[in-house]
Amino acid sequence: MDGYGRVIDYLRISVTDRCNERCLYCMPEGYKGWAQKADHLTAEEIVRVAAAAAGIGFRNFRLTGGEPTIRPDLVDIAAGIGRLPGMASLGVSTNGTRLASLSGPLKDAGVTSLNISLDALDPTIYRQITGGDFPSVMAGIQAAISAGFPRIKLNCVLMRGVNEQEIWPLIVFAAERALAIRFIELMPLSNEDVLTEKNFLSINEVRERLAERDNLVPLDNPGLGCGPARYHRLTGLGATVGFIGAITTPDFCGSCNKIRLTADGKIRPCLGRHNELDLLASVRNGGGIAGVLQEAIALKPEDHEFSECYKPGRPMTAIGG
Ligand code: SAM
Ligand code: SF4
């Protein structure tokens, strides 16, 4: 339990700061990443941290990045964590571009859920936002569905004037495949000029627009994972829609249950504050990993400071979303 009565049992593990896409809101233009491969924790080191976390009560794990699927040993990492005693969920967050070949191996390794980013269905808009290859994402989503993961969710970051006309087609796309889709408010985690008044689209505005089109009913406990999304059902269409409003939701952090491990071995108690603890030294010099994790839990702040002129330090790609 942290200092605010929250049970922290969820470790988000970034396995790389690199990515094969260049999303406007995540990867600042010209970002090069850490020069040395040795700056990244190895697969064995990551699994050792996860095991130490499991030993002090962590039950939920997610592999993220950067783009986790660009790491050749991702399946080994997943298999190592998938074997940990007491593990309740193991998720992977991905842009989906490599799932066509990786879905089966990840499922076999014990991955229980996939979050796949999909900001647009129009390939031109998709490319404008991510710089990525739309057909490979479509093939990846299809492969993930065929592999039979217990949970697959789509994630869309909201940007006014960029992908707002994609919201309804994305919901229909998700509903046709019986997938949940979540809309995420833009957070200040890339270049400062990305999060502007002009670009920002709140989840409240999206909810109001959806309620004008269909009957939008809040869902209590839909069993869709342990993150911060609040889910609704569009009863006419038959779609499940989640909203992640880190900027506008009052008490957004009240139910926070996670800490983050960055790919270079730092523990981050809160996504929206700069404070980090060094874990790399403990991992490489035989120090107490569990002690650093417990210190991070104790240091978890009550809330993020995104609304207080927060300036991005590490970009999202180097933290792990
Ligand atoms: N590459 C993977 C992906 O795209 O899903 C995993 C890493 S990505 C950093 C994880 C999630 O963070 C994605 O859903 C992405 O859209 C979201 N994200 C990245 N930057 C963000 C920002 N500035 N504001 C809100 N969400 C962001
Ligand atoms: Fe890459 Fe994911 Fe960041 Fe996009 S959101 S740049 S896919 S890490």
The reply to whether ligand 2 has any atom less than 6 angstroms from the CB of 23 is yes
Q: Which residues on adjacent β-strands are paired with residue 13?
A: 63, 261
- Predicted local confidence at residue 271, as pLDDT: 83
List the Cα angle 113/221/235 in 5-degree steps.
95
- Predicted local confidence at residue 118, as pLDDT: 98
Q: Residues 155, 263, 92, 73: is their CA dihedral positive or negative?
A: positive
Q: Which residues on adjacent β-strands are paired with residue 94?
A: 116
Torsions phi, psi of 231, nearest 5?
-100, 150
Q: What is the DSSP string of 274-285?
A: ---EE-HHHHHH
The reply to whether ligand 2 has any atom less than 6 angstroms from the CB of 67 is yes
70 closest CA partner among 13, 16, 116: 16
The reply to whether ligand 1 has any atom less than 6 angstroms from the CB of 239 is no
Q: Which contacts qualify for 215-220: CB closer than 8 Å, 24 or more apart?
A: 216/241
The reply to whether ligand 1 has any atom less than 6 angstroms from the CB of 65 is yes
Sequence-ordered strand ranges (E) for 225-276 = 230-234, 239-244, 258-261, 266-268
- Of 206, 244, 316, the one to substitute when testing ligand 1's pocket (max ligand atoms within 8 A of C-beta) is 316
Instruction: Return the DSSP state at 37.
Output: G
Beginning with the edge strand found earlier in the chain, give each strand of the sheet holding 89-94 in spatial order: 216-218, 230-234, 239-244, 180-184, 151-157, 113-117, 89-94, 60-64, 10-14, 258-261, 266-268, 277-278
- Predicted local confidence at residue 309, as pLDDT: 61
> Which residues, given as ranges, of the chain have pLDDT below 50?
none
Please return the burial class of 35, using the count of CB atoms within 10 Å of its CB with bins 0-12, 13-18 and 19+. Answer: exposed
- Predicted local confidence at residue 226, as pLDDT: 73
Single pTM value for the model: 0.95
The reply to whether ligand 2 has any atom less than 6 angstroms from the CB of 320 is no
Contact 154, 145 (CB under 8 A): no
Where b means 16+ CB within 10 Å and e means fewer, 50-83 reads: bbbbbeeebbbbbbbbbbbbbbeebbbbbbbbbe
Q: Distance, CA 214 to ligand 2 centroid (Å)? A: 31
For residue 14, give the ligand nearest its CA.
1
Q: Which residues on adjacent β-strands are paired with residue 157?
A: 184
Cβ count within 10 A of residue 5: 7
For residue 17, give the ligand nearest its CA.
2
- Which H or E run includes 80? helix 74-82
The reply to whether ligand 1 has any atom less than 6 angstroms from the CB of 25 is yes
Place of tokens 């600042």: 28
For residue 200, give the ligand nearest its CA.
1
SS3 for 295? Answer: helix
- Predicted local confidence at residue 35, as pLDDT: 54
List the Cα angle 242/87/60 in 5-degree steps.
35
- Predicted local confidence at residue 247, as pLDDT: 87
For the CA of 67, the closest atom of ligand 2 is 8
Number of C-alpha atoms within 13 angstroms, CB side, residue 45? 22
- Predicted local confidence at residue 312, as pLDDT: 64
Q: Which residues on adjacent β-strands are paired with residue 259?
A: 11
- Of 15, 16, 23, the one to substitute when testing ligand 2's pocket (max ligand atoms within 8 A of C-beta) is 23
